Amino acid sequence: MMSNGPKPASLGQPGRPSGVVGRLLGHVMARDNDPMNALAVECLAPGPTDRVLEVGFGPGCGLARLAAAAPQGRIDGIDHSELMVEAARRRNWRAVESGRVAPRLANVDALPYEDAAFDGVMAVNNHQFWPEPVAALREVARVLRSGGRLVVAIRARSPEGRLRYDGIAYDGAAQAALRAELEGAGLVLRDEVRRLLPRVLAAAFVAERSEERPLGG
Ligand SMILES: C[S@@+](CC[C@H](N)C(=O)[O-])C[C@H]1O[C@@H](n2cnc3c(N)ncnc32)[C@H](O)[C@@H]1O
């Protein structure tokens, strides 16, 4: 199925941070996006022993939050930026050394994990960069166990349009497209949570890999 979603945002630095600018951007992301990570982890609500994947972890604050939420679990992460993999490893070095957190270089299009490997998956602020969102979501669904949850957190445009990131936030049509993509990938949308955070109106789309429904083909 072709996506009817918005055209992917051009990658640029936010889509694949690198070099000095990418390093600076990593600090900005850690500051501005961590409240969204907190919301996404709250919506994912992992169990203490769950195995969870974060897609597009950037500077790695979300990995740290997931590790705290699943203290006997295992947290995997992929990002296609070498710089962000290094940054996430540094930020989570203790948990990386103990093998509880495992950030690696990979693309959402080809996740280096077995089918049904994860209890939960989260992706914060990176769905807009996926060139083939339905194919990517189908790949995410493949690694989710039956009944496992996916949380996709995005910036939603605020009604007043005056928040810092409103210029690049998802409008109503882009949010409708995301719902259709989740459906197209065979996932079932269970909830949508909106929260006004510093600088951003965040929206978390909570979807489930259902027992009954085969993956979208
Ligand atoms: C705007 S940053 C957000 C990082 C973090 N989730 C946050 O909210 O602070 C987007 C991240 O997604 C990663 N990314 C974008 N497209 C990706 C893809 N197709 N596969 C893997 N990672 C991707 C980028 O390298 C970048 O680190």
Q: What CATH number does the domain containing 126 carry?
A: 3.40.50.150
Residue 7 within a domain: no
Tell me if 126 CB under 6 Å of ligand 1.
Answer: yes
140 domain residue, yes or no: yes
How many structural domains is the chain composed of?
A: 1
Q: What is the pLDDT of residues 131-153, one digit of tens each?
A: 999 999 999 999 999 999 999 99
Nearest CA to ligand 1 atom 12: 56
d(CA 66, CA 74): 9
**Rounded Cα–Cα distance for residues 125 and 132 (Å):** 16
Ligand 1 atom closest to the CA of 136, numbered from 1: 19
* Largest separation between any pair of C-alpha atoms in the chain: 48
- Quick check: is 4 in a domain? no
Cα 48 from Cα 69, distance rounded (Å): 7
Q: Model confidence over 87-124: pLDDT tens digits? A: 999 999 999 999 999 999 999 999 999 999 999 999 99
Residue 129 Cβ contacting ligand 1 at under 6 Å: yes
96 within domain boundaries = yes
Sign of the alpha-carbon dihedral angle for 103, 129, 145, 48: positive
Residue 179 contacts by C-beta under 8 Å, 6 or more apart in sequence? 189, 205
Residue 129 structural domain: 12-209
In a domain, 217, yes or no: no
Whether pTM exceeds 0.85 = yes
For a mutational test of ligand 1's pocket, the pick from 36, 52, 54, 80, i.e. the residue with the most ligand atoms closer than 8 A to its C-beta, is 80
